Structure 1
């Protein structure tokens, strides 16, 4: 049973989106029902330890060894994750041109797997690996196989899953780890093709996201605390343009004071209800 306030809010959102499609910005909250942990609680406070910063990753072989040992154990869960009804609903809305575009902070490719197209990945994708020496990319699955062959001692080791394919691994397992080399140039500096904390979003990607927002009638934020500036700046741009800024989210967001409407609830429950209204 849906509460009256939520029903009225969804009706209002449907009226806003009925004639002029909004762009959609998604965050970790849309993927938690698929089994991928998020970084923050409902108050926007980071859970657990600080993730590895970009400069730390670049600074020493020990940092890269620590990152890849943990990531090797975390990848299978990301790889096996399936889109949920919220991803499927957005793909359907996009197919019917009821949303104008899709921007995501997530690095799990679940929007693509659900059938969405031209998804703007603000923070990249864990499904690719970038060589910092030659600039070429590899499929993560092929790098994963290489790591598993080179590090058989980690087979069967259990580690607690953390956000973005990371795990909580005992440091004792990290010292022996063999870091993968680039299959193209044999370079030793491989990183996931994602934007690390402390690293800037690629200029072309940021520009594409901003253009999508500028061309839309408004912006619907789904499952994001908006604590990352790369996402928050898009919200500020929408407000500066005098267009509606709406959020469907459980808990606090950085843009709460700027929102025209905030619907508190889980996206996998509320998005299908919104889609029903838009399709009537």
Structure 2
């Protein structure tokens, strides 16, 4: 799915893999910050790599050109490309599960160590893991809506309509490679018939923020409140390559609260004076270790 989160931002590297755990002194620094009070956490694409979703800027990530909202809205070729990729990608996403990092975040929130979760991802895995106060900056990939009246349908419903309109498509293209966000690179799309809103006949689109769109004001306000209630900000699995995340960092800096980063690879805040703790590593093992340390 071509969203501002992963297509435009390429937010971060943070999977577990086989890397060694975070250095104890850095984890101790992060743990000690919780003496101030609860944290807000901002997560990016690296949060979900251990669930099997590739990111855009990690080592070995494929080159990628984001689909803009103008392309999707105005060009039937791009709409066919989206639906073809979404349908085949759904085959791989069927067994998608929250990973240890998502579960650790939910544990931290349930224990009162987090004021909430702000995520740039559209995969819904924080909620699936049990997190409650979640601000999804770039929307949810599980919902489709029509561009005229705003009628909403589940992704599963609309993909079933796609299958009815394109018999045999899945069988012919099941081996197409998976992209970040879980869609697929399907090349044979000229004959694809895209589903439309059954209520009004309008174009259907994923209920996400595309490249070229802005985060809805109520969603950004929700994220701001999560930071306003916190005594620090943790950035996990994001390189902060898009402005939305940087704006939230500015909110934390204005309040004078410390910032901690857990990421594999450089981020936009690595040289900021507000950065208190920097852990070079994956989100799954680091957040699991953090949750365990605070449970002692």
Q: Is the pair's TM-score, using the shorter chain for normalization, greater than 0.5?
A: yes
Instruction: Please give the per-residue CA displacement for 1:14-51, whole angstroms capped at 9, x wherever unaligned.
Output: 11113400001111111001001111125xx9741212
Alignment of 1:107-256 (within 5 A): 107-156=122-171, 157=173, 158-170=175-187, 173-187=188-202, 189-256=203-270
TM-score, normalised by the number of residues in structure 1: 0.93
Quote the residue 2:15 is aligned against.
Answer: none
Instruction: Please give the per-residue CA displacement for 1:188-235, whole angstroms capped at 9, x wherever unaligned.
Output: x11111111111111111111112112211100111111011112111
Q: Which has the higher helix share?
A: 1
Relative contact order higher in (CA < 8 Å, ≥ 6 apart): 2
Work out the CA distance in 1 between the residues paired with 2:43 and 2:90: 21
- Equivalent position SS for 1:130: strand
Work out the CA distance in 2 between the residues paired with 1:88 and 1:226: 22
Give yes or no for contact 2:140–2:208 (8 Å, CA) kept in 1.
Answer: yes
Q: Where does the alignment leave 5 or more consecutive residues of structure 1 unmatched?
A: none
Give yes or no for contact 1:78–1:108 (8 Å, CA) kept in 2.
Answer: no
Instruction: Please give the per-residue CA displacement for 1:82-113, whole angstroms capped at 9, x wherever unaligned.
Output: 00111111111111111111111111101111
Work out the CA distance in 1 between the residues paired with 2:21 and 2:58: 26
- Equivalent position SS for 1:87: helix
Cα RMSD of the aligned pairs, angstroms, is: 1.9
The 1:263–1:183 alpha-carbon spacing in structure 2 relative to 1, beyond 3 Å, is same
The 1:203–1:190 alpha-carbon spacing in structure 2 relative to 1, beyond 3 Å, is same
Work out the CA distance in 1 between the residues paired with 2:134 and 2:34: 20
Work out the CA distance in 2 between the residues paired with 1:136 and 1:12: 48
Work out the CA distance in 1 between the residues paired with 2:157 and 2:74: 25
Q: Return the offset for 1:63.
A: 1.8
**Which ranges of 4 or more aligned residues in structure 1 deviate by more than 3 Å?**
2-5
Match for residue 285 of structure 2 among 242, 257, 269: 269
Q: Return the offset for 1:78.
A: 2.6
Does 2:108 align with 1:100? Answer: no
Quote the residue 2:93 is aligned against.
Answer: 78
Does 2:76 align with 1:61? Answer: yes
Does 2:30 align with 1:16? Answer: no
Give yes or no for contact 1:94–1:100 (8 Å, CA) kept in 2.
Answer: yes
Give yes or no for contact 1:130–1:136 (8 Å, CA) kept in 2.
Answer: yes
Q: Return the offset for 1:153.
A: 3.1
